Chains A and B, each alone.
Chain A
Amino acid sequence: MSTEVTENMIELSGVQKRYLLKAALTGIDLQIKKGSIVGLLGPNGSGKSTLLKILAGLIHPTSGAIRIAGRAPDASHKKQIAYLPEIDHLYGWMTVDETLRFIAGFYDDWQADKAAELLMTMDLDGRQKVRNLSKGMRARLKLIAALSRNVPLVLLDEPFSGIDPSSRAKIIRSIVSEFQTGEQTIILSTHSVSESEPMFDEVIFLHHGSVKLFDTADNLRSSYGCSLENIWEKVYA
């Protein structure tokens, strides 16, 4: 195997996903380099969550090939991937501390010291019950769960949806500071382009289940002569 192959964290070719009659992904070809923070952008229903779920190994594509770190995905990949789902998957009756201990039990790569540190920087009280947390606090707790793992691939599905600006700023700061340069790859789907723009190396614009644009953020900005936020307006006009 050549070194080029292993440089790519993710390789997708002709990936399609159909839900009964609806085509969610209509043929995705992507090669994502190791060590980058990738923005996955697109309007509702463009296939962002489906793509992330396929990468997380939660659903299978209808057709097409996927390679993660040079191998076809199987159960052992869960050890290499941290996934933050868009839905609320936490139990209300647990406290924040109990939630983190519960999640820690599933993973050998869990970093308890990092979780404790993130709890501080994200301003969360470990003794509070999850059901009493605000939406922004629950979003931060979900992020702590994803970022406390020591894994090469982190998938974050809409970590900012319905979150107030100060929570967003805290989340972005944590992602940037916890990012292990050179070792980790983060793929993050979002609608909040303006705030997350500074942290992206590469950006994917999805449209109707296929890739409309995929390039480095710098290249996109220089070829369109404007920010990603403004490119969004042009792409989805």
Chain B
Amino acid sequence: MQLNFNSPKPIYLQMVDETKKALVRGELAPGDKIPSLKERAQMSNVNPNTVQRAYQEMEREGLTETLRGQGTFIKNDPALLLHIRSEMAQTAVLHFIEEMRGLGIEAQEIERILRDQLSKEKKEG
């Protein structure tokens, strides 16, 4: 778990992203129990108020659900994983395009560079 305190992105949103990434990578599965607020705070040494905000945000986004007396779980919803996966892919692509545009590279060239790189990687196997 790596939080970046130099990023303008608030820590609680970075914690939400971590959970999403773990889900997309398969380290967490729908229906899995996630650490309690207190456990998570201790693991990361992060302020419990910040962790609480992260947990509230995950619940608000429909990523998790809290069962009274049992803890917090990743929502057992197969569509959720697909949704988060495409959402994160979208974010990554937007970021990539933004970087390329920042270098003054236009759409056609971006496409070409991307295609070339992918086919090169494919050959290298």
Contacts and interface: CB of A to CB of B under 8 A. Distances in A.
Do A and B associate with each other?
yes
Interface of A: 35-37, 169, 172-173, 176-177, 179, 181, 197-201, 217-218, 221-222, 225-230
A176 B11 CA distance: 16
B50 A226 contact: no
B42 A177 contact: yes
B45 A201 contact: no
Name the residue among A36, A181, A225 with the largest chain B CB count within 10 angstroms.
A181
B52 interface: yes
Given A226-B6, A227-B6, A229-B5, A201 B42 contact: no
B3 A36 contact: no
Interface of B: 3, 5-8, 10-12, 38, 41-42, 44-50, 52
B36 to A, nearest CB: 12
Closest 10 pairs (CB-CB, A-B): A227-B5, A218-B10, A198-B46, A222-B8, A227-B6, A181-B48, A177-B42, A199-B47, A226-B6, A198-B45
Contacts of B46: 176, 198-199
Contacts of A217: 11
Contacts of A230: 6
Nearest to B10: A218
Given A181-B49, A198-B47, A176 B42 contact: yes
B5 A197 contact: yes
A217 B38 CA distance: 20
Nearest to A199: B47
A151 B98 CA distance: 50
A199 B45 contact: yes
B39 to A, nearest CB: 9
A201 B50 contact: yes
Name the residue among B38, B42, B46, B49 with the largest chain A CB count within 10 angstroms.
B49
A37 B47 contact: yes
A157 to B, nearest CB: 20
A175 to B, nearest CB: 9
Contacts of B49: 35-37, 181, 201
Contact of B45 (A35, A173, A218, A225): A173
Contacts of B5: 197-198, 221, 227-229
A213 to B, nearest CB: 16
Contacts of B3: 198
Contacts of B10: 218, 221-222
22 contacts: A35-B49, A37-B47, A169-B45, A172-B45, A176-B41, A176-B42, A176-B45, A179-B47, A179-B48, A181-B48, A181-B49, A181-B52, A199-B47, A201-B47, A218-B10, A218-B11, A218-B12, A221-B5, A221-B7, A227-B6, A228-B5, A229-B5
